[in-house]
Structure 1
Amino acid sequence: MITRRNLLIGSAAGAAAAVLASRAFAELPPLAKKDKYKVGFAQTESNNPWRLAETKSMQDEAKRLGHQLIYTDAASSAAKQASDVNSMIAQGVDAIFLPPREDKPLVPVILAAKAAGIPVFLIDRDVDHTMAKPGEDYVTFIGSDFIEEATRIGEWLVKNANGKSKIIELEGTTGASAARDRKKGFDDFIAKHPDFKIVASQDGDFTRDKGRQVAETLLQAHPDADIIYAHNDEMALGAIAALEAAGKVAGKDVLIVSIDGEKDGVQAIIDGKIGAICGCSPLFGPKSFATLADYAAGKKIAPFIKNEDHFFDAGNAKKDFALAF
C-alpha cells in the first residue's frame, strides 16, 4: 500500500541517493569564460575587524573587475548562512565564495550548489573532508594553514616563556575548521614539551566579549595560570580586559599569544601586553577572483591554495605595523 509516509521516505531516499551519485560520478560544475560574473559571497558575520577587512577586500576586488557581488551576512548563524547560500542558488549566481562558519552544517548547501551546476570556492575556513572534498564537491579551499599558525605560536612560546608554564586556551567557535586546527596544532606541539601544561581550554566564539567572559571564569578557576593562548586577537584583547579587571598586568603577570594580526592586536604587542601574534590575512579578494578566472579558463586548480602568514612580535611589530589589518 502506498502511503504519504512511504512517498516521503522514498523521496528522501531518492534525494540522498542523488547526492551520493553526484559526489561519486559527477565532475565539478564548469564555469563559462565571461568578462563579468554574478557571484555570491556568503559572509559569516560582521562583528570584528578581520571579517570587515575580508568583506571589503571581496567587495573592492569585485568592483575593480566589474563583477556583480551578491553579499549576505549570516550574523554568526550557520543556519542563516546555509539559507543565504540556498538563496544564491535560487538567484542563479555563476559561482559562490563561502567561508563556512562551521565545518559540517554547510556541507548540504555546498552539495546543493554542485547539483545546481554552481561551483563553490571555500575561503578562510574549510569543511569536513569526510563529508565533502575539494576538487570533487567544491573547487578548492583558499586559506591559511591553521595548524602551522598554531605550531608557530607554540614554538615562539617555548622559546620566550621565561619560566611561565600554565596555559589557558581560548578556543574559537566550536565546529569551525580554524578553531579545530588552531587547537590541534598548538596542543600537539605543547604535548611534546612537558614543562608546559594546558590547565583549561574553552570556546570563546572568536569574539572579544565572549573571550573576556571566558578568560574571567578560567582565571578565577586557575589563578596560577600565567599564559593565555587565544585562537584570535579579538579573544586575546578580551583576555587583556579580564586580566586588568582582576588587577593583573597583561604581558607581565600573564603572557598572551594569539593569531590573526589585526591592528589592535599588533598595537598590544607594541604596548607590551601581547607577546606574539601569527598573522592570518583576511585579504582574500585578489586571490579569490584570480582563482575563479583560472577555473573558468580551464586551468587545474589545487585543492588547497595556501596564504602565507606574517609573524609579529616585539622585534618587528612597530616596523611592520602597516601589515596589520
Structure 2
Amino acid sequence: MMLALCAGCGGGEESASSGDSGSKDGKQITIGYSQLGAESEWRTAQTESIKQAAKDAGINLQFSDAQQKQENQIKAIRSFIAQGVDLIAFTPIVETGWDTVLKEAKDAGIPVVIVDRDAKVSDDLYVAKIGTDSVAEGRKAFEWVDQYMKEQNKTPRGGGDQYQIAVLEGTVGASVSLGRSKGFNEAMQAAEDGSKYTIAMSQTGEFTRQKGQEVMESFLKSGGRDTIDILFSQNDDMALGAIQAIEAAGLQPGKDIVIVSVDGVKGAFQAMIDGKSNCTVECNPLQGPLLMETAKKILNGEQVDKMVYMDEGVFPAEVAEKTLPERKY
C-alpha cells in the first residue's frame, strides 16, 4: 500500500459531542468544521467519519454544510471565529480565495487544519493538512490502465495506433481535480508506451453521478461511441453515472470501454463485481479519527507534521468480490 497526502452557513450548523476525553485545560474542546457539501458517497462517508470521531473523542463539533458554495464556507469560518472555537477545520471547495478569512482566524489565535482538499495559502495560515494525495491517485490510475491494456492487448476501437481516453473531471478549480489530472497526465507522458494513448475528450462532471451520466452521454453522441477505449473518472460517482450512459448507448461498460475511477466506495466495487467497471483507486474518506487526534495534539501544544497522511490502495475488478464485505464506505 502506498502512502498519500491530501486539507458554511448554507445548510446550518449541527453540534455533536459525547464522552469526556476531548478536553483542554479542563474544558471540552470545540472544533468548528466546514464541509463543502454532500456530492457523493465518498463525501457522505467522510462527513460521517468526522462526526463519529468527534463523538468518540468527546469533542464538541460545530458542523456546517456549505452546499458547494465558497461564500457559505467563508461565512461559517467567520461564525466559528465569532464563537471562539478552539480549532477550525475545513474542506475547501476550491483552492483559492481563503487568505483573508484564514488571516482573521490567525489574528483570533485559532489554529486551522485543512482537510482532504488543498488550499493555496501561506504556511503560516494553517497548522496542518490532512488527507490524500490526489496527484498520486491520478498517477496510480494511469499506471493501472497502462498495465491492463498491455495484458489485454486490445486493438483501439477507432482504428489507428492510439487508445482514446475520455476523462470525467471533478469540480473546476478544486485541488483534487487538478491533482488527479496532473498525476494521470504526467504518468502518461513518462510511460514507456505513453504515445499509445491520447486524451480525446475531457470535461467536468462536477463529482456527481447525474452530471457524470450527462457528460458521458455527450461524449458518446459526439463520436465517442465508436472510439473511446478508456474512461478515467475522477471519482466513482461520476463513473457510476457514466456506466448508465454507456449501457443506454448499447455498449458494455468494463468491456467495450475500460473504466478506472477514484474513491473506492462500495458502489464501485459492486459495479466491478457486475462486470461493469475495471478498477478503483482508493481515496480514503475515513479521516475523522486522524483529524481529532491531530487537533488534540495541536491544542496540547505538541508539534505535528505539516502534512498528515492516509493509507490507500488500488483495487482491480479481480479482488472486488473478496474485498467488498470489508469496505466501510
Tell me if TM exceeds 0.5: yes
Native 8 Å contact 2:171 2:206 kept in 1: yes
Distance in 1, matches of 2:68 and 2:24, equals 33
Aligned twin of 1:313:
316
Match for residue 245 of structure 1 among 233, 245, 248: 248
For residue 46 of structure 1, report the CA deviation from its aligned partner: 1.8
Aligned twin of 1:41:
33
Deviations 1:210-240 (A, max 9, x none): 1111111122223211211000001111110
Native 8 Å contact 1:97 1:122 kept in 2: yes
Aligned twin of 1:264:
267
Distance in 2, matches of 1:34 and 1:180, equals 43
TM-score if structure 1 supplies the norm length? 0.86
For residue 34 of structure 1, report the CA deviation from its aligned partner: 5.0
Q: What is the correspondence of 1:1-325 to structure 2 with a 5 Å cutoff?
A: 34=26, 36-128=28-120, 131-133=121-123, 136-161=124-149, 162=152, 163=154, 164=156, 165-192=163-190, 193-223=194-224, 224-321=227-324, 322-325=326-329
For residue 132 of structure 1, report the CA deviation from its aligned partner: 2.5
Deviations 1:267-302 (A, max 9, x none): 111111111111111111110010111112322211
Native 8 Å contact 1:33 1:296 kept in 2: no
Q: For this pair of structures, how many residues does the alignment match?
A: 291
Secondary structure, counterpart of 1:53 in structure 2:
helix
Distance in 2, matches of 1:117 and 1:69, equals 18
For residue 259 of structure 1, report the CA deviation from its aligned partner: 0.4
Distance in 2, matches of 1:220 and 1:194, equals 26
The one-letter amino acid paired with 2:248 is A
The one-letter amino acid paired with 2:99 is V
**Structure 1: 5+ residue stretches without partners:** 1-30
Change over 3 Å in CA distance of 1:238–1:94 after alignment to 2: same
Distance in 1, matches of 2:105 and 2:119, equals 15
Aligned twin of 1:8:
none
Change over 3 Å in CA distance of 1:242–1:324 after alignment to 2: farther
Native 8 Å contact 1:266 1:324 kept in 2: no
Native 8 Å contact 2:131 2:308 kept in 1: yes
Native 8 Å contact 1:151 1:185 kept in 2: yes
For residue 191 of structure 1, report the CA deviation from its aligned partner: 2.2
For residue 33 of structure 1, report the CA deviation from its aligned partner: 5.1
Give the CA RMSD over aligned residues: 1.6
TM-score if structure 2 supplies the norm length? 0.85
**Structure 2: 5+ residue stretches without partners:** 1-22, 157-162
The one-letter amino acid paired with 1:205 is E
Change over 3 Å in CA distance of 1:229–1:41 after alignment to 2: same
Which structure: greater strand fraction?
A: 2
Structure 1 moving runs of 4+ over 3 Å: 31-35
Distance in 1, matches of 2:49 and 2:214, equals 31
The one-letter amino acid paired with 2:298 is Y
Secondary structure, counterpart of 2:242 in structure 1:
helix
Secondary structure, counterpart of 1:75 in structure 2:
coil
The one-letter amino acid paired with 1:273 is K
Deviations 1:144-183 (A, max 9, x none): 1111111111111001123351100111111111001000
Secondary structure, counterpart of 2:173 in structure 1:
coil
Change over 3 Å in CA distance of 1:109–1:222 after alignment to 2: farther
Native 8 Å contact 2:234 2:261 kept in 1: yes
Distance in 2, matches of 1:226 and 1:108, equals 45
Secondary structure, counterpart of 1:194 in structure 2:
helix
What percentage of aligned pairs have identical amino acids? 37
Change over 3 Å in CA distance of 1:221–1:244 after alignment to 2: same
Aligned twin of 1:7:
none
